[in-house]
Amino acid sequence: MKVVIPLAGFGTRLRPHTYTKPKPLLNVAGKPVLGHILDQLKGIELDEVIFIVGYLGDQIREYVEANYHFPARFFEQKELLGQAHAIWLAREAIAGPILIIFVDTIFEANLLEIPQVDADGILYVKEVADPRRFGVAVTDEDGLVTQLIEKPAGFDQRMAVVGVYHIHDGAWLNRAIEQLMAENRQTKGEFYLADAFQVMIEQGARFVTRQVEVWEDCGKPETVLHTNRYLLEHNGAYVGQARIVDSTIIQPVYIADNACIEGSVIGPFATIAAGACVQNSLIRNSIVDEDAVIGDTMLSESLIGKGAFVRGAYRKLNVGDSSQVDFSAA
Q: CA–CA separation, 285 vs 230, rounded Å? A: 11
Provide the CATH number for the domain around residue 275. 2.160.10.10
Domain co-membership, 150 together with 8: yes
Domain co-membership, 102 together with 212: yes
Domain co-membership, 98 together with 201: yes
In a domain, 215, yes or no: yes
Q: E strands, 116-252, where?
A: 121-127, 135-139, 145-150, 159-167, 207-211, 214-217, 238-239, 243-245, 248-249
Residue 237 has a pLDDT of 83
Residue 282 has a pLDDT of 93
Residue 260 has a pLDDT of 95
Neighbour tally for 153: CB within 10 Å? 8
Type of residue numbered 323:
S
Domain co-membership, 7 together with 88: yes
Domain co-membership, 95 together with 205: yes
**Domains held by the chain: number:** 2
In a domain, 227, yes or no: no
- Output the 3-class SS for 300-319: ECCEECCCCEEECCEECCEE
Q: CA–CA separation, 196 vs 184, rounded Å? A: 12
- CA 256 to chain CA mean position, Å: 21
Please report which helix (H) or strand (E) contains residue 238, including its range.
strand 238-239
Q: At what angle do helices 170-182 and 193-202 cross, to 10 degrees?
A: 100
Provide the CATH number for the domain around residue 88. 3.90.550.10
In a domain, 226, yes or no: no
Successive 10-residue mean pLDDT values, the chain, 330 residues? 87 76 87 89 86 89 91 89 89 91 85 87 87 79 84 74 90 92 84 89 92 82 89 86 92 94 94 94 94 92 90 66 58
Of 167, 195, 221, which marks where a domain is finished? 221
In a domain, 206, yes or no: yes
Residue 323 has a pLDDT of 59
Domain co-membership, 140 together with 258: no
Domain co-membership, 192 together with 71: yes
Domain co-membership, 242 together with 293: yes
Q: Which domain holds residue 308?
A: 237-326
